[in-house]
Chain A
């Protein structure tokens, strides 16, 4: 039997779809499956020197993935156990329990202070935007604030997509730096 080689650079292109499909049929949650697959790749990288070459790379990765899936089910089951003993002190009748914390004003409620803060934030964003070069400000505004599609902007300004992303990157870096100074 030939020895199998291990080459992490090929993993994504060779196995990501396979591993993802394998996982999603077992956990039926796309996000979770995605996380599990990336954890598998990471674990595989960490354990690369333990790879003996007896099985193919794919078999080896699947065996790691199986462990990850088992761990995932252990974790959500213990969460469920905890959730079941949680007390719903407010569900029985309207005022039963009468917890003090729930009688005070909702801290996430919109207040006058929030409105002032928000308009100050708008002003800060506007001021920072003004400091950017015209082109960057224009693209950033269209993309981030007006939520235009990449394609629309590209057609409008006659630039390529990669061009746009470079401009966006520069604008975002500048905006983050500027807001860091004036707002945070």
Chain B
């Protein structure tokens, strides 16, 4: 990932996805937070993303119908 302080929305959502699996780097998350300060669309995406993770974590889903 590039060294810029300001991420594009694509980069931000990529970091956000990674963060859901605890695979984002320290500075990646920092840059994401900076992006979220001024980007409402990504804030919304991050919120929904976290919600999805929470829902799936709530119960170990068995996939047999």
Contact = CB atoms under 8 A, between A and B. Distances in A.
Given A172-B49, A176-B49, A176-B52, A12 B27 contact: yes
Contact of A12 (B31, B60, B62): B31
Interface string A40-52: 0110000000000
A141 B49 contact: no
B5 to A, nearest CB: 5
A180 B30 contact: no
Contacts of B18: 165
A118 B48 contact: no
Q: How large is the interface on A (under 10, 10 to 19, 20 to 34, 35 or more residues)?
A: 20 to 34
Contacts of B37: 42
Contact of A165 (B17, B26, B49, B52): B17
Contacts of A13: 3
Interface of A: 8-13, 16, 34, 37-38, 41-42, 118, 121-122, 125-126, 129, 141, 143-145, 150, 165, 168-169, 172-173, 175-176, 179-180, 183-184
